Amino acid sequence: MKAKKVESDFRTIGKQADTINVEISYRIIQLFSEGLYSSPNKAIEELVSNSFDAGASDARVVDSADLSRSDAYIAVIDNGCSIDIEGLKQHWQIGSSDKREGNATKNKRRQIGKFGIGKLATYVLADELTHFCKIDGKFYVITMDYTRIGPDKPDTGIYSKDPIQLNVRQLTETEAHETLAKVIPEDYLKSKNGPILFGKKPSKTWTVALMTKLKEMARQKTNARLQWVLSTAMPIGPDFKLYLNDEKIVPSKESIKVAKTWILGKDIKTKIPQPAPDDLEIATDKKVNKSDLEYYGLKQKDFGRMYGKVELYEDLLTTGKDPFQRSHGFFIYAHGRLINLLDPYFGIDSNLLKHGTFSRFRAEIHIDSLDVMLQSSREGVRENPKYEIIKNT
């Protein structure tokens, strides 16, 4: 169905409802984006984690078929709790975050974001970031033009001496629908397989994070790699369904036959030789079903409870695969989100491991206490004594 044309685009449509002053220096935005996000996939994952933290049950990443076009876009759509005007003001307060102050989402989900800098990840992908929000029956739109934060403004601190003013505009439902349909295919706005924005029984709340005027890094994105990153790094499950364009993303699984599985706290108990700590003990979680992986686990005074499983496969997991899309090694999760995407050894000296066995080995370990040790990119853990204990365990 071809959308009706509207006179204005998303940068100008609607009636001004408020203004937001964004105070951030060019130097800081470079450090918090270009220095943290080395791939387009990781930057997009940050936006998807925002959808998860907003309590979304459905989210979709959608993009142009040809990212080299001048009108190409990348968008993340979700049916989470969305943002009103006050929320948008909080959202653009650089350097502050309420990510971990309670769990205000509608399903009280434990949040996987921590630093509140996911929005700055978009700087490496696009010159423009636009949020469309539906909340309390109202529709809002706000656009950040990153080119307004330029190197010609020699601010050296965190905050710019010359704030950028963003206009929050309120739309009618028709304006929101027709404006979005000019950019995103209609099928993605009404599809039952994903967030429903318009039509019959639309979501009561939703958000669209739309990136336009794409940069070179965005054009380097490949959906095969992005799909692997999202299927491996995000806590996808019955309460959080995720789509990449038309395809539903499922948690990564292996087709190679498992020779043996050990569950921490059940099959792998406390008799672990040094350098593991001596005070490891079994720690079951009776709040979950005994059949769930979370039921069994281990506990140690310095890092608390951990749970997971170790699997040994009959054949190599490293044969004929893109090395980026690894299937072997350690997969370490904090609050359900993978933190060592590109490091199969999790900082352990590879010379200490038998390579033939390690290539058939996969460990899925959940350690929520690692959250406080994470680097701001969530791609690594800061070196400290507790980190060494966890590696030895």
- Average pLDDT of the chain? 81
Residue range 373-384: mean pLDDT, rounded:
53
Helix 40-53 / helix 223-233 crossing angle, nearest 10 deg: 40
Residue 381 pLDDT class (50, 70, 90 cuts):
low
Mean pLDDT of 11-36: 79
Query: Do β-strands 329-334 and 361-366 pair in parallel, antiparallel, or remain unpaired?
Result: parallel
For 232-249, the pLDDT digits (tens) are: 888 888 889 999 999 999
340, pLDDT greater than 60:
yes
Cis peptide preceding 185, ω within 30 of 0 = no
Of the candidates 283, 268, 285, the residue with the CA atom closest to the CA atom of residue 393: 268
- Least confident range from 194-198, 222-226, 267-271, 330-334: namely 267-271
- Within 13 Å of residue 36, how many CA atoms lie on the same side as its CB? 27
If you average pLDDT over residues 320-334, what whole number do you get?
A: 72
* Average pLDDT over every residue of 81-101: 75
Identify the pLDDT of residue 104. Answer: 45
* Confidence (pLDDT) at 115: 44
Mean pLDDT across the stretch 164-180?
94
